[in-house]
Structure 1
């Protein structure tokens, strides 16, 4: 075992690391749990120093210690995104990181920038409409609302590029993440739209662009002392966690589509050419010259976690067992899973969760199954939007939620789709290790470590009940939206200052 590859991913609820051999064999794994902060309705933040950097240094030290003296040939880091980390010139955060689309604070800036540049022109140049997933409006929000922090800001990062900078000292952003910094990146030119970027970023320098696996620097002496990595270890650019996970799962050809069962739900499919879509996200891909089409729900596993806490921390396995005893349709109980607003397809920061049909005879098993079914209905809605270019040839399910056979079965039953489950479910950190190996030249660019374990197939006996309830699901959001918006506004008004 002469050389190893290190991949680290910073997810919404935890950070994970993996040491792998160049042929994809896993030598060691490690994880650190953490939490995001929700200081106000619509806000989602993380202390980049105390959470992300501490997680990375801790994981790196542990895994280097378990390397049996083998050389770490390369390191690559992914993270939730796209995020906004405002930093001083020496890469010290000036405020907590503003998270991806679940942070919806920049509503006014989204509207203002859309008016400023024109909705059609934004869609044409960026491949998607401005939404809470875009970094540009959040940069503008920070300029307008936090002048003291802005005055200290010299550079801006996403989660992975912040870590790359701390490891190597380089100010670099991968193309995929940059293509979600709308309206600052031109999807067709695969470069910064400098006119718009200079206006939005208020004169802050733009990071150099690189592809996700590309080696952009080496571990500095200071970073080596903190991480245990050898000084001079090559560092790849990294990327957003969902795309690193798709890469790890073998989403490498047009027609492949990843469904990620995480704290949020995410969808990534490969495109041959960029496609402009007002409710989906066209991005640059992980590999040079590629494109992807993506979508995301604001809550998924975080909703089941909330329910588990709500019922007193009952073991997850117990809740799943109780939910499995409830028939399809949860005996007339339906849940809209918009507990943190919603991204695709509504892009509604004031959407809220709705539990419809609740009666005194329903128990926690009904609620838990209704949550699974609500997420599944949302998944079906997104899959149908992604079908515009034809249904995907292969749907690959990844993420921690795939460890729940009930959840994956419900999604297949509701959507009518087969799902291939990879044998290796470590996730984005495994994709990071693969990217590191490609970046340093140990592996050919087309190397694919993914192997399929089994396939989940729809149960045809549930089709009629779920098709009927899906129509109700589609009607429930517009029917309740005015009332839910009123309640969301009340939540905002009653927030302590």
Structure 2
């Protein structure tokens, strides 16, 4: 019996699934690793810790579910979050930590480039909005602010490329991750020369772009022995988590349907044969396969924001039971009306990407009065996260007709949240409980590579999401009124967002100086 393993390198952890060739889950496991915020706007991860966690979880799932049942692993397919940058030396050793998508330290470079004619040209060529998330401006920041690290760097890699290199010795990057770097021309499918010149690097300092079906060589002998896998096991480079979540929800080219992901971060996406063109540079256009683009907008602030709220204000009967503590908070809001009695929350704790593309954005509660209680804050926090998702969908609706939605991700598929999404969007929302769209998208990709399906469109056609949430018209009317204020606040506070960010930097620096000067 053959099986397919999928590995998702997520923001805060790894998920490994095993499927048989009919798409049935044999088993799954996950592991976690931290993100370090050592300074304001910094978000970094230890690549070695990610690799060790990957090996540990993969070995456990093989030993528990695969080897005892005599399954033969036909392929291992990777997916990963986008926009990570890891500098390595000539021997492939990391030069410090990997910089994640949430890192905003390159704000100055991004703002200057975005306002230039070059920025507009690069957006049209690469499909990646100009923002600190982009590896293009991350590399430029390293070039300007860490000259020694830049000098020693032999290659700039994504986390997924680094993990695959550790396993196989190959430096390779799939088209979708490559097209999210801001360095690849999505029309010619080559590294864009103007982007390379801006970053101050050559194409040789990047991995080799390849189609998502590409096998990245063979496992090194040490891992063949450790994992008890044969040399012929295919290591598919796969795609990005966003592209595969869209595929896993059954979204096909031309469908009048959008896919919403709310995990740690979030996004609203559509799939088509053409890119979305936008003078304001608000949308991404990432290449999945030839003439197939996943387009939409991402938010920095998804389920991670409610986790933050839970850590600060939840009641932990078990100090490590985040899910149960989140559920307890949600149970308090049943008797809070839609709109939280006028309490609004701007969820921009990590700055923001779409649709405002403002790395300086900050979180805020607005409309607070003497009658508000903790339960209002809970509901307002959830509503604020979903207002931001709606703001992306509303903007996307200017370009594509969207009649229904699918929702995936551990936060988005909580029934309370799925119903709120339906109410806010005023559209039906389709979900499948206990279903992981990213891993299933990776299985569809692997099954297509094996010839089980003729194409990814054929693979996505039979996908069914059986559960539907219908919108409550009265609640929608309430949310429409409050969203108008939310939207205005998100843009009216641009100057104040920047000012308080500058003060934070000023006094953080002052405090460090005082500490260092006073042993």
Please indicate the TM-score interval, normalised by the length of the shorter structure: over 0.9
- Match for residue 296 of structure 1? 298
- The superposition leaves residues 465-490 of structure 1 with CA deviations (integer Å, 9 ceiling, x where unpaired) of 21211111112223333333222211
Write the distance in 2 (CA, Å) between the matches of 1:438 and 1:424.
24
- The superposition leaves residues 386-418 of structure 1 with CA deviations (integer Å, 9 ceiling, x where unpaired) of 112332244210000134211111121112121
Query: How does 1:296-375 map onto structure 2 within 5 Å?
Result: 296-314=298-316, 315-375=325-385
CA spacing shift, 1:191–1:424, aligned 2, 3 Å: farther
Greater mean alpha carbon deviation, residues 192-201 or residues 257-266: 192-201
Q: Is 2:250 the counterpart of 1:264?
A: no
TM-score, structure 2 as length reference: 0.90
- Match for residue 424 of structure 2? 414
Q: CA deviation at 1:231?
A: 3.2
Structure 2, unaligned runs of 5 or more: 317-324, 513-519
Write the distance in 1 (CA, Å) between the matches of 2:277 and 2:103.
23
CA spacing shift, 1:129–1:260, aligned 2, 3 Å: closer
| Matched-pair contact (CA < 8 Å) for 1:244–1:429 | yes
- Match for residue 496 of structure 2? 483
- Match for residue 322 of structure 2? none
TM-score, structure 1 as length reference: 0.93
**SS across alignment from 1:350:** coil
| Matched-pair contact (CA < 8 Å) for 2:122–2:195 | no
Q: CA deviation at 1:155?
A: 1.6
Greater mean alpha carbon deviation, residues 128-137 or residues 61-70: 128-137
Q: CA deviation at 1:378?
A: 1.3
| Matched-pair contact (CA < 8 Å) for 1:215–1:440 | no
Greater mean alpha carbon deviation, residues 283-292 or residues 439-448: 439-448
| Matched-pair contact (CA < 8 Å) for 1:262–1:301 | yes
CA spacing shift, 1:201–1:54, aligned 2, 3 Å: farther
| Matched-pair contact (CA < 8 Å) for 1:319–1:364 | no
**SS across alignment from 2:217:** strand
- Match for residue 25 of structure 2? 26
- Match for residue 86 of structure 2? 85
- Match for residue 119 of structure 2? 119
| Matched-pair contact (CA < 8 Å) for 2:46–2:97 | yes
- Alignment counterpart, residue 377 of structure 1, candidates 378, 387, 392: 387
- The superposition leaves residues 97-120 of structure 1 with CA deviations (integer Å, 9 ceiling, x where unpaired) of 1111x2111122224445676233
**SS across alignment from 1:38:** coil
Q: CA deviation at 1:249?
A: 1.7
**SS across alignment from 2:96:** coil
CA spacing shift, 1:130–1:92, aligned 2, 3 Å: same
CA spacing shift, 1:251–1:228, aligned 2, 3 Å: farther
Q: CA deviation at 1:454?
A: 0.8
| Matched-pair contact (CA < 8 Å) for 2:173–2:209 | yes
- The superposition leaves residues 7-63 of structure 1 with CA deviations (integer Å, 9 ceiling, x where unpaired) of 01021222111000111011010011222111122111111111x212210121011
Write the distance in 1 (CA, Å) between the matches of 2:193 and 2:235.
27
CA spacing shift, 1:228–1:36, aligned 2, 3 Å: farther
Greater mean alpha carbon deviation, residues 460-469 or residues 282-291: 282-291
Write the distance in 2 (CA, Å) between the matches of 1:478 and 1:436.
43
CA spacing shift, 1:424–1:404, aligned 2, 3 Å: closer
| Matched-pair contact (CA < 8 Å) for 1:337–1:374 | yes
- Match for residue 71 of structure 1? 72
| Matched-pair contact (CA < 8 Å) for 2:179–2:287 | no
Count the aligned residue pairs.
Answer: 493
Write the distance in 1 (CA, Å) between the matches of 2:391 and 2:242.
19
| Matched-pair contact (CA < 8 Å) for 2:407–2:429 | yes
- Match for residue 465 of structure 1? 478
| Matched-pair contact (CA < 8 Å) for 1:80–1:241 | yes
**SS across alignment from 1:276:** coil
**SS across alignment from 1:336:** strand
Greater mean alpha carbon deviation, residues 245-254 or residues 281-290: 281-290
- The superposition leaves residues 110-156 of structure 1 with CA deviations (integer Å, 9 ceiling, x where unpaired) of 24445676233223322354112321111111122223322332122
Q: Is 2:70 the counterpart of 1:60?
A: no
- The superposition leaves residues 139-185 of structure 1 with CA deviations (integer Å, 9 ceiling, x where unpaired) of 11112222332233212211222222222211111111111221x21
- The superposition leaves residues 167-207 of structure 1 with CA deviations (integer Å, 9 ceiling, x where unpaired) of 2211111111111221x211221222135325525235332
Query: How does 1:60-459 map onto structure 2 within 5 Å?
Result: 60-65=58-63, 66-67=65-66, 68-100=69-101, 102-114=102-114, 118-182=118-182, 184-203=183-202, 204-225=204-225, 227-255=227-255, 256-277=257-278, 278-314=280-316, 315-422=325-432, 425-445=435-455, 446-448=458-460, 450-459=463-472
**SS across alignment from 1:9:** strand
**SS across alignment from 2:342:** coil
Q: CA deviation at 1:289?
A: 2.9
CA spacing shift, 1:436–1:466, aligned 2, 3 Å: same
Runs of 4+ deviating beyond 6 Å: none
Write the distance in 2 (CA, Å) between the matches of 1:297 and 1:226.
39
Write the distance in 1 (CA, Å) between the matches of 2:198 and 2:386.
40
